[in-house]
Amino acid sequence: MARQPARGVVGSSLVGFLEAVILGLVQGLTEFLPISSSAHLRIVGEFLPAATDPGATFTAITQIGTELAVVIYFRRRIGRVIAAWFRSLRPGLVAAARTDPDVRLGWIVIVGTIPIVLVGYFLQETIRGAFRSLWLVAAVLIVFGVLLWLADRLGRRARELEQLSYPHGLLVGLAQMLALIPGVSRSGASTSAALALGYTRPAAAEFAFLLAVPAVFGSGLYELLTALREPGTSPFGWPETIAATVVAFVVGLAVIAGLMRYLRTRSFLPFVLYRLLLGGLLIALLATGVLQPY
């Protein structure tokens, strides 16, 4: 796929900087809600002055900011899981570690990350090209909105995160893999799978966030190295990209806190309705020629 010309660092304009900040704000607002941050970046980019797709590289790098927010918000659990997992590798502790829920969660995150790593690596060009069609984005916004509604409505919501099993972790990991398509939503797909398997809303959301950490950091760092080796993979220069990432971190941290409070007593229905409305609006804009699919 042809690369978009980058706005060079020297030639960065105030308008370009503001565009990047707006996209960072969108990333922070939408990454943890089940409405697809990549779809929103793709759509909002069309309405900014440059009218350009921010691209997979810019999206992946700004997601580093939102994943840092996950690490900060869940720092106690993440620290406990990492410490327990490393302790379990010591001779004589392997058998005892099998019953430790923190050790199990560490291994489940590793197992659940494998599908998205493999597919993301072998389908890079498809992800950068065909997957970014706005027709596809509109379709999956609607389809996965319906799936989220069904999972939230029919799931038993009886299991907590400490009860997570390896098969369930792998199934949620397979669902997360679908988020490589803009519009699916990483948190939406993972949460839907966990809800369908009977987990509570907070437990499903928390595992979705934890599962995303290694995958998103890996993808972001890979794209970061790609951008360093191959200038021109993003329409934004480094000052704009760094600013967008910082904004995404700050806003994302606030959104996580609000969402986790909300899910203790409320359902995913507002997000389902939003997905259906956005998908329908996008189809209308594409059908009337207001937007082009690429």
The residue with tokens 């389902």 is: 272
Structure tokens given for 150: 């069904």
Please report, as a single letter, which amino acid is at residue 275.
R
Indicate the pLDDT class of residue 250, thresholds 50, 70 and 90. Answer: very high
Q: What is the pTM (predicted TM-score) of this model?
A: 0.87
Most confident option among 59-63, 75-79, 236-240: 75-79
pLDDT at position 98 is 65
Q: Look at 135-144, 216-225, 243-252 and tell me which has the smallest mean pLDDT.
A: 216-225
Torsion-angle region of 153 (φ positive above 0: left; ψ -120 to 50: alpha; else: beta): alpha
Helices (H), strands (E): how many in the chain? 13, 0
- What sign results for the dihedral spanned by CA atoms 155, 156, 161, 167? negative
Distances (CA, A) of 124 to 45, 115, 189, 236: 21, 14, 20, 20
Residue 51 has pLDDT above 70, yes or no: no
Burial zone of 10 (CB within 10 Å; 0-12 exposed, 13-18 middle, 19+ buried): exposed
> What residues contact residue 275 under an 8 Å CB cut-off, 6+ apart?
34, 35, 36, 141, 142, 144, 145, 148, 188
Find the Cα–Cα–Cα–Cα dihedral 196, 26, 52, 237, rounded to 10°: -120
Asked if pLDDT for residue 4 goes beyond 80, the answer is no
The per-residue pLDDT for 12 is: 54
For the stretch 178-198, pLDDT in tens is 988 889 999 999 999 999 999
- Most confident listed range (61-65, 235-239, 271-275): 271-275
Sequence-separated (6 or more) residues with CB below 8 Å from residue 89 = none
How far is C-alpha 230 from the geometric centre of its chain's CA atoms?
Answer: 24
> How much is the pLDDT for 5?
40
Strands (E), the chain: none
Confidence of residue 94 (pLDDT cuts 50, 70, 90): low
For residue 144, which of 275, 11, 246, 285 has the smallest C-alpha distance?
275
Per-residue pLDDT, 11? 40
